[in-house]
């Protein structure tokens, strides 16, 4: 799943139906164990308040970002988890550089923050739709690497996850949204316009992930066609990042020794 730094990614070689040999029912049971372990690590992270974790979720429309967030982070203490969804910049956001609005919502010490879409829209959507020149996007890869290096140096661990769904699976999910009255609100006609640009988006993703996967802020490509595989894979990645931070509970206050509450 890891995109190795300084290598050229080919999404054609990443199977969105990959199961890693996992059994579906066993994977669901293991996900519950992952939830418990992530919960323990999150509480330690919040208690220590020395580090933070930023999880970037990036994918095409209907590829499972919301579902992943619900599945992996839904059971955690909401006081320690923040979810930020990025839409097209508007108003005051357009008067600043493209990283301005993202820096404002990076996680505080002790927090886990999940970005549903991210600053990468500026080298994906803007590149594909010609809203930024190729030369400008090429400069932005360097900006992004340096921005993420800054966050890491200041105590934020970063993990970036691309949910890899096939063209056919996206068609099925978009049709399900149209057919289900309770899900129809998620669909917009522009999704079909973006779908026509699928090959261009794939090339933009390959380039962006190749250019910005680093040792300190790696990209992972997670197979997304099977939701149970996606959920467990993301949970494993998140737990691994928290374990790498290795947060610890603060030492006991000596004044509490022998204290009795009456």
pLDDT digits (tens, 9 = 90+) for 51-78: 999 999 999 999 999 999 999 999 898 8
Residue 261 lies in a domain: no
Instruction: Report the range of poorest mean pLDDT among 74-83, 112-121, 225-234.
Output: 74-83
> Looking at residue 75, what is its pLDDT?
85
Residue 36 clears pLDDT 90, i.e. is over it: yes
Average confidence (pLDDT) over 121-150: 96
Residue 152 lies in a domain: yes
What is the extent of the structural domain holding 231?
2-247
CA distance 3 to 12: 14
> Looking at residue 101, what is its pLDDT?
95
Residue 231 clears pLDDT 90, i.e. is over it: yes
Residue 10 clears pLDDT 90, i.e. is over it: yes
pTM over cut 0.85? yes
Residue 259 lies in a domain: no
> Looking at residue 60, what is its pLDDT?
93
User: Measuring CA to CA, which residue among 246, 54, 45, 26 is closest to residue 150?
Assistant: 54
103 φ/ψ angles, rounded to the nearest 5 degrees: -60, -30
Residue 158 lies in a domain: yes
Residue 219 lies in a domain: yes
Residue 260 lies in a domain: no
- Map the chain to HEC letters: CEECCCCCCCHHHCCCCCCCCCCHHHHHHHHHHHHHHHHHHHHHHHHHCCCEEEEEEECCCCCCHHHHHHHHHCCCCHHHEEEEECCCCCHHHHHCCCCHHHHCCCCCCCCEEEEECCCCHHHHHHHHCCCCCHHHHHHHHHHHHHHHHHHHHCCEEEEEEEEECCHHHHHHHHHHHHHCCCCHHHCCCHHHHHHHCHHHHHHHHHHHHHHHCCCCCCEEEEECCCHHHHHHHHHHHHHHHHHHHCCCCCCCCHHHCCCCCC
Percent of the chain with pLDDT over 90: 93
What's the number of domains the chain is made of? 1
Residue 107 lies in a domain: yes
* Residue reference for tokens 């988890």: 81
CA distance 121 to 94: 14
**CATH code of residue 80:** 3.40.50.300
Query: What mean pLDDT, rounded, does the chain reach?
Result: 95
**Which pLDDT tens digit goes with each residue over 140-169?**
999 999 999 999 999 999 999 999 999 999
> Looking at residue 50, what is its pLDDT?
96
């Amino acid at each position: 799943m890891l995109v190795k730094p300084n290598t050229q990614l080919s999404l054609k070689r990443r199977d969105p139906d990959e199961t890693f040999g996992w059994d579906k029912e066993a994977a669901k049971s293991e996900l519950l164990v992952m939830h418990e372990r992530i919960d323990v690590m999150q509480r330690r992270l919040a208690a220590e308040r020395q580090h933070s974790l930023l999880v970037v979720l990036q994918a095409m429309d209907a590829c499972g970002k919301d579902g992943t967030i619900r599945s992996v982070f839904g059971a955690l203490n909401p006081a320690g988890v923040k979810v930020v969804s990025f839409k097209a910049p508007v108003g005051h956001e357009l008067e600043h550089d493209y990283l301005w609005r993202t820096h404002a919502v990076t996680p505080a010490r002790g927090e886990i923050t999940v970005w549903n879409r991210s600053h990468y829209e500026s080298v994906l959507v803007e590149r594909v739709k010609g809203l930024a020149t190729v030369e400008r996007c090429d400069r932005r890869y360097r900006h992004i690497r340096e921005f993420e290096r800054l966050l890491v140096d200041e105590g934020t661990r970063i993990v970036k996850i691309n949910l890899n769904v096939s063209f056919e699976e996206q068609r099925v999910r978009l049709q399900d949204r149209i057919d289900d009255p309770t899900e129809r609100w998620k669909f917009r006609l522009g999704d079909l316009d973006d779908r026509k640009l699928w090959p261009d988006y794939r090339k933009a993703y390959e380039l962006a992930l190749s250019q910005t996967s680093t040792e300190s802020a790696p990209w992972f490509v997670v197979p997304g066609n099977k939701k149970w595989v996606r959920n467990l894979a993301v949970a494993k990645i998140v737990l691994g990042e928290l374990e790498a931070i290795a947060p610890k509970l603060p030492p006991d206050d000596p004044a509490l020794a022998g204290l009795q509450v009456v």
